[in-house]
Structure 1
Amino acid sequence: MYMQYALDLIEKGHAYYAFDTPEELDAMRERLTAARVVSPQYNSITRTQMRNSLTLPEDEVKALLDSGANYVIRIKIPRKEEVRLHDLIRGWVMVHSSTLDDKVLMKSDGMPTYHLANIVDDHLMGITHVIRGEEWLPSAPLHVLLYRYFGWEDTMPEFAHLPLLLKPDGNGKLSKRDGDKLGFPVFPINWKDQVTGETASGFREQGYLPDAILNFLAFLGWNPGDHKEIFSLEELVEAFSIERIGKSGTKFDIAKAKWYNEQYLRAKSNAELASFVIADAAAEGHTLSLEKAEAIVALTKERATFAADLWKESRFMVLAPAKFDEETASKKWNADAVQVLSKYAATIRAFDGVYDAATAKSLLEATAEAEGIKLGKIMQAVRLAITGLGIGPDLMEVFAILGTQEVAARIDFALATLEVV
């Protein structure tokens, strides 16, 4: 199919047969390099010195074709012409034809190159917009000429050449291998090269939410013209315009992708997210009620970037600590903490009222006051006893989730395990 279009260009005088051997092409490049030509190429000047249907006698061309000699078909770029094209992002782009080479349209094996196949396919499919990366901008003048030479200027699509996605440091184009090297995904899902066996991680498997990634990607090189950053798909469709895409390359900021994921995660209801905590707890052999899982989510989702973080942040609420943070223990565990916690454990064991966060706090404050100890000085030690950690979410909310008997049991374990410094 493509050959008939290439032959049509030859008949119109816009393409030609080229019979040059690889050795002849190499010799041409060497000759130009020796003459200090910066970019040796087969163009409107050098073609006059090569073996093609523009320089060879007609009968010799016919004889070569009849004999089955190898040839390619090249476009005949005009020698002195300014090729203009309108780009939806960059405006009018002008390129002088002297900078263009006579690209191959049909290869010696009878297959079309991208340039010919792309133009013919887009025309036959009625493509109205060609949106692609800016690395294709140097080829755009050639494509404009092809549309003109075929007589398809009236149906030529509009072009938009998008700026490149750059590495996080801005040095170079982002590649598929940069992600795992730098610690972030670049594929929607896990990807494996069937030839090399190399694998690359995907956004889905790392816990990114689809809507968050869509929102993040929309803002790579585009902005709506105001300070709003969170958009639903419908809002993006309404707000998006190609004209607001920037011309410069955009750094791939994985920290921003994580921020978007946090926003979308926090926007989900506690009931939606509870299923993640229930599933992760079950994977470790523990059953969680929906009520408790929702309470855990309410306390931890502001600290989570991914759904998996909910369990990481709340695991201690289901599994009592078997060990304690050594640095916190060495600095904060003392006789005052032991004194208050011993009394508090006895108090809550006997308590039969509603044990919510406010009650847990008031009982602890009353115990510390009765012992003549300032609560603020021992709060890290209290956290250590209950969670095994030096930091974490609101401790009184943790007390309420655990309940009096579990809190008392954890205090007993800490008192029996930790040594006063």
Structure 2
Amino acid sequence: MKLSRVLPIAGLAAVGATVANAETITVATVNNNDMVVMQSLTDAFEQSHPDIQLDWVVLEENVLRQRLTTDIATGGGQFDVMTIGTYEVPIWAERSWLTPLDNLPEDYQVDDLLKSVRDGLSHDGTLQALPFYAESSMMYYRKDLFDEAGITMPDQPTWEEVREWASKLHNADQEQYGICLRGKPGWGENMALVSTMVNTFGGRWFDMDWQPQIDSPAWQEAVSFYVDLLSNYGPPGASSNGFNENLALFSRGNCAMWVDATSAAGKLFDADQSSVADKLGFAPAPIAKTPKGSHWLWSWALAIPASSDSKDAARQFITWATSKDYVSLVGEREGWTSVPPGTRTSTYENPNYQESAPFAGFVLDAIQGADPTDSTLEPSPYTGVQFVGIPEFQSIGTQVGQMIAAALTGETSVEQALQSSQRATERTMQRAGYLD
């Protein structure tokens, strides 16, 4: 056992022997709402698996990524289950850092997993992680504010329209902000959004020769638009806001619009967690010059590092936490809007989910419509919508994200931020052997 656990007084003697013989697995996960729900259901898992105890490490997204990357690259073995994403899985699997997940139990129903999500978590045709939830991106908006202002949401909003609406709906004195967007630096934080904006403004991270394009006119236009929009019509301190912070702001009614992950829909439509549940509208992520790459594709998944000494127990946990039965358990305990979205066809065919989640079909279409192999207007050599599927991108994206956050706070100009990002990325790509 890695950590001792405090036992309740009642039944101490009866339970003591079981716990003493139990195998403890350490699960590292992100502090998003769906994972907090998973942690809250520890008792359900341990009751059905009395020989396994769960020890949780729950971290903020950027910190989690740093901890997990360091541990797996060094073979540290601190964790038995890692919450990783569509970016890490194929890269880590190619280096044999993950435990392949073949021969899953028949009742797990692998074919029920959405194909686009399953493919993104596979390497050489074998699943390397099991999807806990999957998402694309979309726009949330306050229908009551739109109605008051006489604004009609089109089937496909544009970023120019978003700026016009934000200017009409922004009222900082009332703590009502025209728009909330990610500003916290990180390749999976502000750069997830900014990359989709660059895509739809006609830009790309690299040309076909792996030459960085960060100082291109498309990047300049997209990032200038982003900085101006958020500076003029966003909340104060936007450079500190990631997914969770903006979710809290929107849930409290402080944002007229928010463009972010489809996985937020369940919480926003839950009246127990959201003060705007009855005022919520949703639309596709905005576009600019092209619809390509305007909405991302991501899956948070559970993987077993090759360094784990408890692979069998870890496998039992991740198959439980990503199963159809788990979806039903969450639906019954937490409400159907709280079930992990985007992973299983059966979830979207479930009448309980359809009735409770008016956004279900919309989200499914967004996930299935995102194409990581064709996400830019001009050809690009990489796979990924909001990331570049190469090992170097984690450091590149984080560094560029820091520079764009500096432009957002006014510490530097957009032009200077992009020029610095271009030079830094060129150096990284040269050292990695992509460039002469």
Higher helix share: 1
Give the TM-score taking structure 1 as reference length.
0.20
Report which structure shows greater RCO (CA 8 Å, sep ≥6). 2
| Structure having the higher Rg | 1
